[in-house]
A and B are shown apart, each in its own frame.
Chain A
Amino acid sequence: MIPGWASVMFKTTAIMPLLVALMLSATAGCSSIEPWVKPYERDRLADPIMSLSRHGKADSYMNHVYQSRESARGAEGGAGGGCGCN
């Protein structure tokens, strides 16, 4: 064991929730840790104002506008489907 390893781990607690979430995503089914946000606690998350794409096609249209005028493309969220255009 590396000396001081425990204290290093302790200092990383600020980013631990995210790391734990990522690890659990990769190992779902193998872990005994349970989801800490229960389904009945997700009413706020279900509110349409919490959607990153609540305007449907109107949102994907803006991606099309930017792809036509900027060189950057991809990772716009809502994976799936090609633009089908240049």
Chain B
Amino acid sequence: MAREVVVGVTDGRRLFRLLWASFTAMVLFPLGPLAHAATLPVDSVDMLYHRYDGGGMVIDGPVLLARKSVGPQVSVSGQYYVDMVSAASVDVLATASAYKEERTEYTLGVDYLYDRAIMSLGFTNSSENDYEANTLYFTVSQEFFGGMSTLTLGYAGGWDEVGKRGNDSFSEDADRRNFQLGLSQVLTRNMLVGLDLEVVTDEGFLQNPYRQNRYLDPNDATAFLYQPERYPETRTSTAVAARAIYHLPYRASIRGEYRYFTDTWGIQAHTVQLGYVHGLNQHWSLEGSVRYYRQSEADFYSDLFLYENSQNHLARDKEMSAFSGTTLATGAVYEWKQTSLPGIKRLQFSLLLDWLNFDYDNFRDVTASGNYLPGEEPLYSFDALVTRASLILEY
């Protein structure tokens, strides 16, 4: 830095440019994505309407997040989130009737800035008529190396209570621990990379109490019967991800992401995502992305078991089967910095559409019309449209 100052003194225009660039960096960099930790989140209100429609399910509702700093070192936040569910999926229709329910979630959080580190503590309560979830999380982010590196350590503990509609005496526990490690790194003035590792352990009642698996009827080979799901009572999963984002020579960015997942139930999964954001002008930008996901089945999964209780653990959840999923996403974003709205420093409105498609390798659609022998029904697939309308106001 001393050398730059000396050079600057001998060249007034260069000094001006240097000071201007430094000022710009100081003003803009706190808004940066991966590359900073030592800045509290800005005061903002984040409003989202979300809607998921597909596979017989319609889920929509609002999310409202408000954040406010309290002095120079503390920021507090509160969040309200609602899922209104109308469910008539293939799992529901196979063994039960369509239903409606509502899930409400509240989160309170506090962030504390100390030197170049931010410590975050928060609590979430999620409540629906047959499921109660409480989560406590703690995260530390430390900036290193002149702000080029940020290391994040996170822990979350979850304590869930599983109920069952129509059976008031049914109550089971499921506990969860998340351990997170993240590193983000500025590689060049145009490129950021991130590495993430997360280990999750579960213990308790880990299956869906409504879902059932099927087995061949011993008295009639053209029919099948249902029995309750039975999952192991523990599960540990590991996910590692690498992502990078690169600023093109014009105002646009490309990003890529890969995640590998494995767990003690025998499931392995790969996720690949590529995205592009194009700045049209100072206000508008357009974006698009494609995502591909593939997983193998759990060790104890079968679409059709040969006889009742044929093994210790039994699953026919389609989420436990082998399948692939593709997402095509698009969106438009309007951003207004230094708005003339009273009290609003920055506004961002986003309209985002995601089309999801899932194709199952060994989960069959028992609700398909026609006379099929057990195990010969058509393979299941479905698609869904996710709509998100988001408004972020920074004040």
Contacts and interface: CB of A to CB of B under 8 A. Distances in A.
* B is bound to A: yes
Interface of A: 17-18, 21-22, 24-25, 28, 34-58, 61-62, 65-66, 69-77, 79-86
B315 to A, nearest CB: 11
Given A58-B50, A84-B158, A25 B21 contact: no
B120 A80 contact: yes
Interface in B146-203: 146-149, 151-154, 156-158, 160, 174, 176, 178, 180-183, 185-190, 192-194, 196-200
B25 A42 contact: yes
Nearest to B46: A56
Question: Range of interface residues on chain B?
Answer: 35 or more
Interface stretch (B211-219, B305-313, B362-370, B384-392): B384-392
B100 interface: no
Contacts of A17: 187
Nearest to B111: A80
In the A-B complex, the 5 residue pairs with the smallest Cβ-Cβ separation, listed nearest first, are A74-B198, A35-B146, A51-B33, A82-B156, A80-B139
27 contacts: A37-B186, A37-B187, A39-B26, A40-B25, A48-B33, A48-B335, A52-B243, A56-B48, A57-B46, A57-B63, A57-B79, A58-B350, A69-B358, A70-B293, A71-B267, A71-B319, A72-B271, A73-B200, A73-B239, A76-B241, A77-B196, A80-B120, A81-B139, A82-B135, A82-B156, A82-B176, A86-B131
B241 A77 contact: yes
Given A54-B33, A55-B390, A74-B199, A37 B189 contact: yes
Contacts, number: 264
Given A45-B35, A75-B240, A76-B241, A61 B388 contact: yes
B188 to A, nearest CB: 6
Interface stretch (B221-229, B246-254, B373-381): B246-254
A53 B152 CA distance: 16
Nearest to B23: A40
Nearest to A17: B187
Given A35-B146, A86-B174, A72 B52 contact: no
Interface of B: 18, 21-22, 24-26, 28-35, 44, 46, 48, 50, 52, 63, 65, 79, 103, 105, 107, 109, 120, 122, 124-126, 131, 133-137, 139, 144-149, 151-154, 156-158, 160, 174, 176, 178, 180-183, 185-190, 192-194, 196-200, 237-241, 243, 245, 247, 251-253, 255, 257, 259, 261, 263, 265, 267, 269, 271, 277, 279, 285, 293, 295, 298, 319-320, 325, 331, 333, 335, 348, 350, 352, 354, 356, 358, 386, 388, 390, 392
A50 B247 CA distance: 7
Q: Which of A43, A47, A69, A81 has the most CB of B within 10 A?
A: A81
B25 A74 contact: no
A61 B20 CA distance: 38
Given A45-B35, A71-B298, A25 B182 contact: no
